Amino acid sequence: MNATVAANESKATSATIDRIELTQPDDWHLHLRDGEHLPAVLPFTVRQFARAIVMPNLRPPVTTTAMAVAYRERILAALPAGSRFDPLMTLYLTDRTTAAEIEAAVASGVVKAVKYYPAGATTNSDSGVTHVDRTRPALEAMERLGLPLLVHGEVTDQSVDLFDRELAFIERTLAPLVRDMPGLRVVMEHITTRDAVAFVESCGPNVAATLTPHHLLMNRNAIFVGGIRPHYYCLPVLKREVHRQALMDAAVSGNPKFFLGTDSAPHARHTKEADCGCAGCFNAHAALELYAEAFDRADALHRFEAFASFHGPDYYRLPRNTGKVVLVRERWDAPAEYPYGGDTLVPLRAGEPLQWRMLPAA
């Protein structure tokens, strides 16, 4: 069998499909890091994606348009020779971000969104927002100018159970915000619960969400198989199977509110295998393969292209890509590690088999 699924083709049983051709996708949530780490991870993304929304949680964070422009130049300078890739930049929202900064960001044409990290919620979020009210001038400018707000949706209240922090953020912060500012465009990033799916579905077209491959493929048991597995620790943390199932249902639903965002978040091996290990999973080495596996398992490969290649650009009001990529059903083992500047990086599925392989560009 060598059936091919193309855009909008009617459903074929996924198990009989062993080649997928799709419009080149984009990654709508990506960490590229900086310095010696940037050239170590960038080629993986460039191989698969035409564009990516690049997260601003560097040290120091990318809080101004000038910093975003400079970071974009460093990314372009690190591109493999002959490759084409369009980094879509983001600003890191703080309590002090001004309306003028938002206006400059939009005028630059380089900044495509603004990232909301609750202070202390995740990696390099110390300069994040302490209370949403403090960001009002920036948010009003964003609502007026149509600049999307990308949200790490977890409360930092330590009295809230770690597994309930996404729901608490929706109830305490996001639902009131969306109610007060219906014109604000909001992407809830890397959603992990059925509550987040239900919330996004209940909102108007301004509210969307990204889904990672690891949250589609795994539940929280993965963190504890035979011992503690630091490479499966990310934030928001993996949840129960019912939640994974709800995320998968959203991904394959065809609803344009849900689209691809890998949250590939590299950390050096020694910073994850530590007594206080960092949060983040590196998946850029096999991002499309992992998503294809998730859609295949759900018998929904016919819904893969819209999720990976159409819903994101449509939400961001950017043209869809015109190039194509091809994936074939073929087993291969992910490497145990990759070089990461002077360190090493352990990828998702390290040393274990993947079921799909992307072919090199023709």
57 binds, among Zn ion, ligand NCD, none (CB under 5 to 8 A by kind): ligand NCD
Decide whether 152 or 303 has the Cβ nearer to Zn ion. Answer: 152
Across-strand partners of 111? 89
Distance CA 92, CA 216 (A): 27
Residue closest to Zn ion (Cβ)? 152
- Whether the CB-CB separation of 286 and 334 falls below 8 Å is answered with yes
140 CB burial (10 A radius; 0-12, 13-18, 19+):
middle
Decide whether 17 or 286 has the Cβ nearer to Zn ion. Answer: 286
Question: Which one is catalytic: 180, 263, 314, 333?
Answer: 263
- Minimal distance, residue 9 CB to ligand NCD, in Å: 34
Q: Site residues for ligand NCD, window 121-180 (CB under 6 A)?
A: 122-123, 152
Q: Binding residue for Zn ion (CB under 5 A) from 27, 166, 263, 296?
A: 263
Q: Binding residue for ligand NCD (CB under 6 A) from 31, 194, 285, 311?
A: 31
Active site residue 263: yes
Token pair, residue 254, equals: 């065809």
Question: In the chain, where do the E strands start and end?
Answer: 3-5, 17-23, 27-30, 51-54, 86-92, 111-116, 149-151, 186-188, 207-211, 258-260, 324-333, 338-340, 343-345, 353-358
State CA 56 to chain mean position distance.
13
- Whether the CB-CB separation of 76 and 46 falls below 8 Å is answered with no
Token pair, residue 4, equals: 């091919």
Decide whether 219 or 355 has the Cβ nearer to ligand NCD. Answer: 219
- Minimal distance, residue 265 CB to ligand NCD, in Å: 3
Is 152 a binder of Zn ion (CB under 5 A)? yes
Is 166 a binder of Zn ion (CB under 5 A)? no
Token pair, residue 218, equals: 């795994």
Q: Binding residue for ligand NCD (CB under 6 A) from 234, 250, 252, 268?
A: 234
Stretch that binds Zn ion, among 118-126, 135-143, 165-173, 269-277 (CB under 5 A): 118-126
Which residues make up the interface to ligand NCD (CB under 6 A)?
31, 57, 122-123, 152, 234-235, 263, 265, 279-280
Which residues make up the interface to Zn ion (CB under 5 A)?
122, 152, 263
